[in-house]
Structure 1
Amino acid sequence: MAHLNQNFISSIEHDLPSHLTMEDFIRYSNKPLRLSIRVNTLKISTADFIALMQPKGWTFTAIPWCENGYWIEQEHKVQLGNTIEHLQGLFYIQEASSMLPPTALFAQAHNSSQQYVLDMASAPGSKTTQIAALMGNQGLLVANEYSASRVKVLHANIARMGVANCALTHFDARVFGEYMYESFDSILLDAPCSGEGTIRKDPDALKNWDNNDVKGIVNTQKELIDSAFQALKPGGELVYSTCALSRKENQEVCLYLKQRYPHAVEFINLSTLFPEADKACTAEGFLHVWPQIYDSEGFFVAKIRKTASVERLLPAPRTQKNFPFKKASAKQVTELTQYLKTAFEITLPKEADVYVRDAEFWLFPALFQPFIGKMRFQRIGMKLADALKKGFKIKHEAISALTTPTTVELSDAEAQAFLMGRDIALLEKVPPRGETVVSYAGCSLGMVKHLGNKLKNNLPRDLVKDKIARYPSE
């Protein structure tokens, strides 16, 4: 049972649209959320994923605002986070409403290239990985997270989902307007908020709700949206979203921006974003999703176009010195390319550059180069391989993100054993093949050393699981 304290109800009653009732809001707030997932099209097509999971007892209902999002029901209840398909990044467990902001960001984009994209508050990575999929791993996606512990979670999810076009930063997002003035084509600001919309997932979310706390949050939201607008290129588009319900944290923050930059702010109407989007649309054209409208979490989404350049609020800061990477030489690139092609039939994407740091070889998005020195990045692109005395050693995240046809396909039982860190015995002895990629459902799982009589497990220790969910048919 959700804890809806009276202070919150009294406050929110003024913001509830006239066609909705408080009785329905309270009733839906006490209903459990429908389980929802998003298929990761960087690794598998939606049709192939549905064909893979239907025999395991999954029923799919399409989420109208996300082409690859589904509400699911399971005939056999298993813990989704421990399934093979989740661990190899074929899907993301994501609340349906949270799929809205990236959809809005990419819908009917005024700037169709959307080459430079910023996600200002990224962790744990549901929207970041959704954006990367919408970008098809092209262009450059900068994903920022303020919390140090959450940066690790963000990177783990980016690696699991096979994202290759991302650079991670770890800042208070209020610095982007200063450091990256008018640098991005598209920006998502999923702002920190009071979390009023998450009551169905967390019954205690509003137990200690206090209007004074909200006032402090609103000030932060205004500073963040200002920073985002400063970092946005003229002609670029910004999506501001929260999982809050009050006008204070939503409409009023957007109207503050309009008041601050009246000549440069244009609100984009989202009433046709998806069928029946108009049911949640405000007079300004924003989506104010209450739980009872679509049987989901509460959410707010606004899309804003920057129609003109704005005055820079702060001077350009000094650039970062001592960038620790350098571009790989033509000889190094040739040797690495030959290793990847010969050993795994992997071809590096054309829109990427190979960089070196000590004995490490990294793949950076080609568009990253103009950003070198502008601010400090935690992690750029992905680590491809380590240089050895003779040759190279490919990294797990490269295997995860770069498709390779040279694999050994594992059964359900073998894939489960592999993810638990175990070696896999071969039924008959064959000539050893050395480093080999193993896959499940046609998607890579990781590396083994093929010894002829068994596959020696090379899964990184931090990815080894104690338990893997099993379906009755497996």
Structure 2
Amino acid sequence: MVQLNQNFIDSIAKDLPRHLNLDDFIHFSGQPLRLSIRINTLKISCADFIDRMTHQGWGFEPIPWCKDGFWLTLASDIQLGNTIEHLQGLFYIQEASSMLPPTALFQQFDLSRENIVLDMASAPGSKTTQIAALMENQGLLIANEYSASRIKVLHANVLRMGVTNTALTHFDARVFGEYLYESFDAILLDAPCSGEGTVRKDPEALKHWDPNNIADIAQTQKALIASAFLALKPGGSLVYSTCTLNKAENQAVCLSLKALYPDAVSIDDLSTLFPGANQACTEEGFLHVWPQIFDSEGFFVAKITKKHSIPRQQPAPKKQKNFPFNPAPKKHIDALQQYFQDTFSITLPKQGILMQRENEFWLFPESLVPFIGKMRYQRMGIKLADLLKKGFKAKHEALMALGINKPSIGLTQEQAKAYLMGRDIMLSQKEQPQGEILVSYEEALLGMAKHLGNKLKNNLPRELVKDKIALL
């Protein structure tokens, strides 16, 4: 049962718009959230996924503000995160309201060119992977996460969803304004907040709500949005969002930036972002989503355009040395391309840059090159393969991102379950050994196996092996 702190109720009543009712807010705060997902169009079209899953008893209701987002009804009670389709990276379990910020970021945005985008607070990766899908894996997406424990989850989700255009960083996001001054075409700051809008997901989120914490959080948010604005190119777009409801962490933070740079800050009107957006739009043009408006989590979204350049506050930091990667030599590039083509029918992308670190080969986004040395990166692009004594060994992450619609051996549902649980697949009759091959389920990739003639030897990375798979 939801635990609403009376002090919170008294405080939030002051921020509730006149056309909304406090009793409705309390009622909807106590209701369970509707289950929602976002289909990963980097791996499958919405039409194909809906057709595939409708046959398995899934019902889809479109989410108005995300063309790839849907509220779900299921024929049976299953753990979505343990389904084969989830592990294949075909969808992301994402709350509907959290799909709003990336949609706002790319409203009326030129996606035909390669953009440089920053996600300042990325984990666990729902918005990062949504942005990558909207960018169609083109350009460069720098995804930052301050928490060391959460960056591992971010990395896992980026790989699962087949994202190739990212570089992951691990910093207090307040450094970006100076380190990468006026470098980004678009920036998302989904700021750390008090989480008042998440009570439907976490009934005890507001049990110990304390107004004294709000002021401290707001100060951090103001520093973060100022850093984001400094890192944004003139003419670029900045989206500031939170999953909280009070004005101090929302409207006041954005207006503080406007007060700081009155001539450079232009607040965009989001009332036409999607049909019905005006129901949640404030007089300033922000979206302040209360739970009862769309039967969702509470959320806040603001979009800001940078009208002109603003002065840098400090000199540019010194360029960092000892970068451990070098451009791969042509002989290795040619051999690697031949290996991927001959073994998996995969043509390596021309727009990336092949880099080498000792016996490792990586594919970096081409747009990353000007950023090398300006910051440290936890992870860049995708790892393609290791160099062995005789040839190469492809990496799972590369095959899952680049092997879509390539020839593979189709597995049954039971075989796919066994594969994801780390088991070898016995063949019904002995065949000519084929070596390394791709395996799939329902025409979507699962990974790599070694065809030995009588069985498929499992090559799934140990860290991805699951103890339990939910079958529909």
Q: Which amino acid aligns with 1:355?
A: M
1:451 positional shift: 0.7
Q: For residue 466 of structure 2, what is the aligned residue in structure 1?
A: 465
Shift in Å, 1:322: 0.5
How far apart are residue 332 of structure 1 and its match?
A: 1.3
Superposition map of 1:4-403 within 5 A: 4-109=4-109, 113=113, 115-403=115-403
Alpha-carbon distance in 2 for matches of 1:96, 1:89: 18
Query: CA distance change for structure 1 residues 342 and 168 in 2, over 3 Å: closer, same or farther?
Result: same
Which whole-Å CA distance do the structure 2 matches of 1:400 and 1:110 have between them?
28
Does the 8 Å CA contact 2:111/2:135 hold for their aligned counterparts?
A: no
Cα deviation, 1:21-74, whole Å, max 9, x if unaligned, reads 100000000000000000000000101101111111100000000000000010
CA offsets 1:348-369 (integer angstroms, 9 cap, x no match): 1121000000000000000000
Name the counterpart of 2:445. 444
Alpha-carbon contact 1:31-1:200 (below 8 Å) kept: yes
Q: Deviations over 1:149-168 (max 9, x none)?
A: 10100000000000000000
The residue type equivalent to 1:165 in the other structure is N
Say whether 1:423 aligns with 2:403. Answer: no
Letter in 2 for 1:464: V
Identity %: 68
Q: Which amino acid aligns with 1:431?
A: Q
**Aligned counterparts of 2:165 and 2:412: Cα–Cα separation in 1:** 31
Deviation at 1:198, TM superposition (A): 0.2
Inter-partner Cα distance in structure 2 for 1:55 and 1:412: 14
Choose 397-406 or 453-462, whichever is displaced more. Answer: 397-406
Do 2:181 and 2:312's aligned partners in 1 also have CA atoms closer than 8 Å? yes
After TM superposition, where is structure 1 displaced by more than 6 Å over at least 4 residues in a row?
Answer: none
Contact preservation (8 Å) 1:114, 1:185: no
CA contact (8 A) 2:353 2:363 kept: yes
Indicate conservation of the 8 Å contact 1:110/1:235, yes or no.
no
Counterpart amino acid of residue 88 in structure 2? Q
Q: Deviations over 1:75-110 (max 9, x none)?
A: 111100000000110000000000000000011127
Name the CA distance, whole Å, in 1 between partners of 2:22 and 2:114: 40
Residues 234, 110 of structure 1: CA spacing in aligned structure 2 closer, same or farther, 3 A cutoff?
farther
Which amino acid in the other structure matches residue 428 of structure 1? Q
Deviations 1:180-217 (A, max 9, x none): 00000000000000000000000010111111101100
Which whole-Å CA distance do the structure 2 matches of 1:212 and 1:269 have between them? 31
Between 441-450 and 152-161, the greater mean CA deviation after superposition: 441-450
Superposition deviation, residue 270 in structure 1: 0.5
1:446–1:407 Cα change, 3 Å: same
Q: Quote the Cα distance in structure 2 between the aligned partners of 1:110 and 1:411.
A: 42
Q: Matched residues in 2 for 1:7 and 1:426: separation?
A: 65
Cα deviation code 1:268-318 (max 9, x no counterpart): 111000000000000011100000000000000000000000010121111
Letter in 1 for 2:257: L
Q: 2:247 corresponds to which letter in structure 1?
A: R
The amino acid of 2:315's aligned partner reads P
CA distance in 2, matches of 1:51, 1:417: 25
SS at match of 2:364: strand
Shift of 1:111: 8.0
Instruction: Say if 1:114 and 1:186, in contact at 8 Å, map to a contact too.
Output: no
Deviations 1:110-141 (A, max 9, x none): 78636100000000000000000000000000
Counterpart code for 2:166: C
Indicate the larger mover: 404-413 or 286-295.
Answer: 404-413
Distance in 1 separating the partners of 2:176 and 2:343:
42
Deviations 1:409-437 (A, max 9, x none): 11111111100011111112110100011
Deviation at 1:178, TM superposition (A): 1.0
- Aligned counterparts of 1:117 and 1:466: Cα–Cα separation in 2: 37
Which amino acid in 2 is paired with 1:96?
A
- Confirm whether residue 407 of structure 1 aligns to residue 412 of structure 2: no
3-state SS in 1 of match to 2:288: strand
Aligned length: 471
Question: What does the per-residue CA deviation read over 1:369-404, in whole Å, with 9 as the maximum and x for residues that have no partner?
Answer: 000100000000010000011110000000110025
| Mapped contact 2:344–2:403 kept (Cα < 8 A) | no
Helix, strand or coil for the counterpart of 1:42?
Answer: coil
**What CA distance in whole angstroms lies between the structure 1 residues aligned with 2:319 and 2:350?**
28
Check the 8 A contact 1:218/1:253 in 2, yes or no. yes
Distance in 1, matches of 2:382 and 2:182, equals 26
Q: TM-score, normalized by length of structure 1?
A: 0.98
Separation in structure 2 between the aligned mates of residue 442 and residue 137 of structure 1, nearest angstrom? 21
Q: What's 1:433 paired with? A: 434
The 1:442–1:110 alpha-carbon spacing in structure 2 relative to 1, beyond 3 Å, is closer
Cα offsets for 1:435-470 (capped at 9, x unmatched)? 011011212111101011110101001100011001
Structure 1 CA distance for aligned equivalents of residues 338 and 311 of structure 2 = 49
Of the structure 1 ranges 90-99 and 437-446, higher mean CA displacement relative to structure 2 is found in 437-446
RMSD over equivalenced CA pairs, Å: 0.9
- Match of 2:131, SS state, is helix
Aligned AA (1:458): N
Supply the distance in 1 between the matched residues of 2:34 and 2:346 (Cα, whole angstroms): 39
- The whole-number CA distance in structure 2 between the counterparts of 1:212 and 1:442 is 54
- Contact 1:110–1:236 (CA<8 Å) still a contact in 2? no
CA distance in 2: counterparts of 1:133 and 1:306, whole angstroms: 24
Q: Paired residue for 1:455?
A: 456
Residues 36 and 198 of structure 1: CA distance in aligned 2, closer, same or farther (over 3 Å):
same
Counterpart-to-counterpart distance in 1, 2:454 and 2:54: 34
Aligned pair in 2 of structure 1 residues 193, 114: CA closer, same or farther (>3 Å)?
A: farther
SS at match of 2:386: strand
Query: Given residue 331 of structure 2, which amino acid in structure 1 is its aligned partner?
Result: K
When residues 269 and 112 of structure 1 are mapped into structure 2, their CA distance, relative to the original with a 3 A threshold, is: farther
